[in-house]
Chains A and B, each alone.
Chain A
Amino acid sequence: MSQGWIEVCEVGEIDEEDVIRFDHGAVSLAVYRSDKDKYYATDGFCTHERVHLSDGLVMGSVIECPKHNGRFDYTTGAAKKTPACEALKTYPVQIEAGKVYVQID
């Protein structure tokens, strides 16, 4: 893997249609595996308040914040439902040799 790519976990460590928390230095991410077996990563904390999305529910391409039902499309980061109004930052993800990598700039 070239520079800037950080290993997150083995592919099987995230259930289908689920999310895990991944902390790297000062950055905290939410890393998702979709129901179509694709992987994505966004900022870990909700843009409404400081609540981690890894405790939320993944439904299709949506992550629901566990606190107030704010929703985001985790494939694009777009906020889909109030009280979440601001988009999440997304991060590139790659799979190589059975491992999930994320690029943190």
Chain B
Amino acid sequence: MSASHQKRDYSLSGPEGKLAQERGLASAEWYATPIPRKRMKELMQRRNGPAIRDTVIWLSLLIGFGYLAYLSWGTWWALPAFLAYGILYSSPGDSRWHECGHGTAFKTPWMNEWVYQFASFLVLRPATPWRWSHTRHHTDTYIVGRDPEIAQPRPPVWKIIMLEIMHLYAGPRDIKRMFMHCFGIIDKGEKEYIPPAEYRKTFWESRVYVLIFAALIATCIYTSSILPAMFIVLPSFYGSILVLVFGLTQHVGLNEDVLDHRLNTRTIYMNPVFRFLYWNMNYHIEHHMFPMVPYHALPKLHAEMKADCPPPSPGLASAFKDVVTALLKQRKDPTYTIERELPATAQPYLVGPTTNGGMKDVAGMD
């Protein structure tokens, strides 16, 4: 570690949050690629069709693989069958949670809300706290001390990454919070972004989750088998590998404390299967810059924006390699950051507010 590097406090209740506010980085104005209003309105239009189609396919696959897993229980075939079931449970659970949380997946609000609540339970995220956490993530993306969803600090904590292969860091943390919510307690960090008016809803949602857990445990005891839990709750642990891989590739290795999503977010070209599981969140710069564009319109938004963005990673493997390389380098040098050239057609990068209130241009950062 470089001698000059001070280890930063990533908590929301520590000094970094206040510092970010003083530096004008909190709730700031971010760079946006200029797109004609008429085109933007077309891209923001809501539709029910794509999300209904994708939800029917997802649930059908989940039931189909669940049935195969059930039939294979007690044989070695159960391993691949449950792995497939777990991945289909967790990864689309995560992306549907995300898209419906933004309220853009479906046109009809109650459809977004129902799928959001359902998917929140699948991925074991208390629905209301995570809605507010994600709101903050979009306001202050990768601003240290402000964003509760920074995947890894610098230097990285490898133990957390290893635990997250099986969702064993965030999973137990969120379950502990659910139990706290049941008794009317809000975690200190959560208080930074959940408004008090939402506490009551938070408490009741967690009570429902905990009742489901109790019913599940009772069923397992009654049937003297872990099998019921292999179909709900446990898949969010044993099937979470893609959630981790997709999640790490969104921002890790890129800049912190900047006001331009092209500097802190990664767009990746992915195959159609991954794009289905991930609901096009591989177009992540596009999503962050214009969060009200639904997932099904992101490829079109990408076409509008790509001349203004650094080249996308050519695939998940290449993006993941970049992430691991950056994490390894940040172990020794926490300031290490991947810098990506913009094409000649792009507007220069904008880092953040300068002392004169303007924006600092960092094109040609080196």
Contact = CB atoms under 8 A, between A and B. Distances in A.
B117 interface: no
Interface in B78-126: 102-104, 109
A69 B102 contact: yes
Majority SS of interface residues in chain A? loop
Query: Which 3 A-B pairs rank lowest in CB-CB distance, beginning with the nearest?
Result: A69-B103, A57-B44, A68-B135
B197 interface: yes
A43 interface: no
Nearest to B101: A69
Contacts of B272: none
Interface string B292-327: 100000000000000000000000000000000000
A49 B198 contact: no
A40 B62 CA distance: 47
B197 A49 contact: no
B195 A68 contact: no
Contacts of A18: 41
Interface stretch (A2-10, A28-36, A79-87, A97-105): A79-87
B139 interface: yes
A73 interface: no
Given A57-B44, A66-B291, 18 more contacts: A18-B41, A49-B27, A49-B139, A57-B41, A57-B45, A59-B46, A64-B292, A66-B44, A66-B290, A67-B138, A67-B291, A67-B292, A68-B135, A68-B291, A69-B291, A81-B109, A83-B132, A83-B135
Nearest to A62: B109
Contact of A69 (B104, B139, B195, B197): B104
- Max chain A Cβ within 10 angstroms of own Cβ: one of B27, B40, B103: B103
9 contacts: A57-B45, A67-B291, A68-B102, A69-B102, A69-B104, A69-B291, A81-B109, A83-B132, A85-B195
A49 to B, nearest CB: 5
B292 A56 contact: yes
Contacts of A85: 195, 197
Contacts of B102: 68-69
- Max chain B Cβ within 10 angstroms of own Cβ: one of A55, A67, A69: A69
Interface in B188-213: 195, 197-198
A59 B104 CA distance: 13
Majority SS of interface residues in chain B? helix
Interface in B24-79: 27, 29, 40-41, 44-46
A50 interface: yes
B354 to A, nearest CB: 19
Nearest to B128: A82
A56 B293 CA distance: 10
Interface string B328-341: 00000000000000
B149 to A, nearest CB: 14
Contacts of B40: 55
Nearest to B109: A81
Given A49-B27, A50-B27, A81 B290 contact: no
Nearest to B107: A59
A57 B292 contact: yes
A55 B29 CA distance: 13
B41 A66 contact: no
A85 B196 CA distance: 12
A86 to B, nearest CB: 11
A57 B102 CA distance: 14
Nearest to B26: A49
Interface in B170-198: 195, 197-198
A66 B292 contact: yes
Contacts of A68: 102, 135, 138-139, 291
Contacts of A55: 40
A76 to B, nearest CB: 18
Given A49-B139, A82-B198, A69 B292 contact: yes
Interface string A36-49: 00000000000001
Contacts of B44: 57, 66
A18 B27 CA distance: 26
A85 B139 CA distance: 16
